[in-house]
Structure 1
Amino acid sequence: MSIDPSSIPNFGGQQPEPQGPAGPVVPDQDLVKQLLDQMELKYVVDDEGDLAAPWEEFRTYFMFRGEGDQAVYSVRTFYDRPHQIDDKQPLLEAIDDWNRRTLWPKVYTHTHDDGTVRLIGEAQLLIGAGVNIELFVSSTVSWVRAAIEFDKWLVEQLGLEKDVDGTDGEPEEGDE
């Protein structure tokens, strides 16, 4: 499945219609499902009960952790593109640049036992005391967009783009 980022509605410029309590709300998974439906994004609930929206090169999880005033809403994106351990230094330099320039997602590496390096992006919001519904909606939409933008940005920064035919843009023997 491939989602064009421009197809995600921009909730930031619109006046939302009243949809619930006027005061702070404590968001939950059902609220995120409603938002993803409104954004026309497909999602699944995994074996651990976390909500995930899959894309071709990554998947974004919408998770709730903690209790009471310490409850946290986390949007975490796992980028599926494997990188080799030898490429970790330029990868770290690129994500350090991203992390300096942007508010979210903050991106970090995870090195697997087999030596492959994967990236994870994350943004969090304390929700235990309740949050303004408009803040919650605009943050979630912005975080999803930023996760998509990071993937595109990284492809451009590291020259990871592949042609549709699966080559890296270099002509094969016999091609003219």
Structure 2
Amino acid sequence: MSIDPSSIPNFGGQPEPQPQGPTGPVIPDQDLVKQLLDQMELKYVVDEEGDLAAPWEQFRTYFMFRGEGDQQVYSVRTFYDRPHAIEDKPQLLESVDDWNRRTLWPKVYTHTHDDGTVRLIGEAQMLIGQGVGLEHFVSSTVSWVRAAIEFDRWLVEQLGLEKEINDTGEPGEEE
């Protein structure tokens, strides 16, 4: 399987994906995702559990394969690192519900840690055990990554976190 590098989408003005490769169904794997991330010029690491992750400043997106045979699932899961206070959970849930009603992906939910902080997780999944079209796989992965980035921007705007982000700027910066 091969993806034409000139076809990877718009993180910097590149055209929409038009992968070249098999015309029939393929069973995607981690190597295909690595190739796609390379062509999208996104940095990635493989964690201690063997999962592929692309880190951003405020979140990490994992590209995971789970299950076997016909039940194998490809999951793109984003862990948003910004902690929220437990007192803010009702407002957070209201915002997340609004996002989930308006968009197809990622579906976002909360996770409350033992220390009382609340963090968000976004997720999109695709059943791949029977195989999928390469173009569908590439365009879905790209769309899911874009949406994960867009969700973070949207949440910052919805919750008024721009001030919080600006307040943590470098010393000497004007606010």
Same fold (TM over 0.5): yes
Please say if 1:56 is aligned against 2:57.
yes
Alignment of 1:122 onto 2:123: yes
Unaligned runs of 5+ in 1: 168-174
Deviation, 1:165, is 5.2
Q: Does the 8 A contact of 1:26 with 1:131 survive in 2?
A: yes
**Letter in structure 1 aligned against 2:168:** G
- Structure 1 residue 163 displacement after superposition: 5.1
RMSD after superposition: 1.8
- 2:16 aligned to 11, 16, 23, which one? 11
Aligned residue runs from structure 1 range 18-167, under 5 A = 18-19=20-21, 21-161=22-162, 162=164, 164=166, 166=168
C-alpha deviations, 1:42-66, integer Å up to 9, x for none?
Answer: 0000000000000000000000000
Task: State the Cα deviation string for residues 3-49 of structure 1 (Å, max 9, x = none).
Answer: xx74274425xx43x32x22100000000000000000000000000
In 1: Cα distance, 2:137 partner to 2:82 partner: 29
Counterparts of 1:60 and 1:163, CA distance in 2: 21
Aligned in 2, Cα 1:74/1:163: closer, same or farther, shift over 3 Å?
A: closer
Contact 1:64–1:71 (CA<8 Å) still a contact in 2?
Answer: yes
Q: TM-score of the superposition, structure 1-length normalised? A: 0.86
Instruction: State how far apart, in whole Å, the 1-side matches of 2:91 and 2:113 are.
Output: 18
Amino acid at match of 2:32: L
Contact 2:64 2:75 (8 Å CA) reproduced:
yes
Normalised TM-score (structure 2)? 0.87
Matched residues in 2 for 1:59 and 1:109: separation?
Answer: 15
Is the Cα–Cα contact under 8 Å of residues 11 and 137 in structure 1 kept in the other structure? no
Structure 1 vs Structure 2: percent identity of aligned residues? 80
Number of residues of Structure 1 aligned to a counterpart in Structure 2: 161
C-alpha separation between the residues in 2 aligned to 1:165 and 1:136?
40
Write the deviation string for residues 106-145 of structure 1: whole angstroms up to 9, x where unpaired: 0000000000000000000000000000000000000000
Contact conserved, 2:62 with 2:77, CA < 8 A, in 1?
yes
CA distance in 1, matches of 2:62, 2:14: 19
Whole-angstrom distance in 1 between the partners of 2:109 and 2:144: 16
Residues in 2 aligned to 1:141 and 1:7: alpha-carbon distance in whole angstroms: 13
SS in 2 for 1:7: coil
Q: What CA distance in whole angstroms lies between the structure 2 residues aligned with 1:163 and 1:69?
A: 45
Query: Residue 97 of structure 1 aligns to which amino acid in structure 2?
Result: D
Deviation at 1:166, TM superposition (A): 1.8
Q: Secondary structure at the match of 2:25?
A: coil
Letter in 2 for 1:166: T
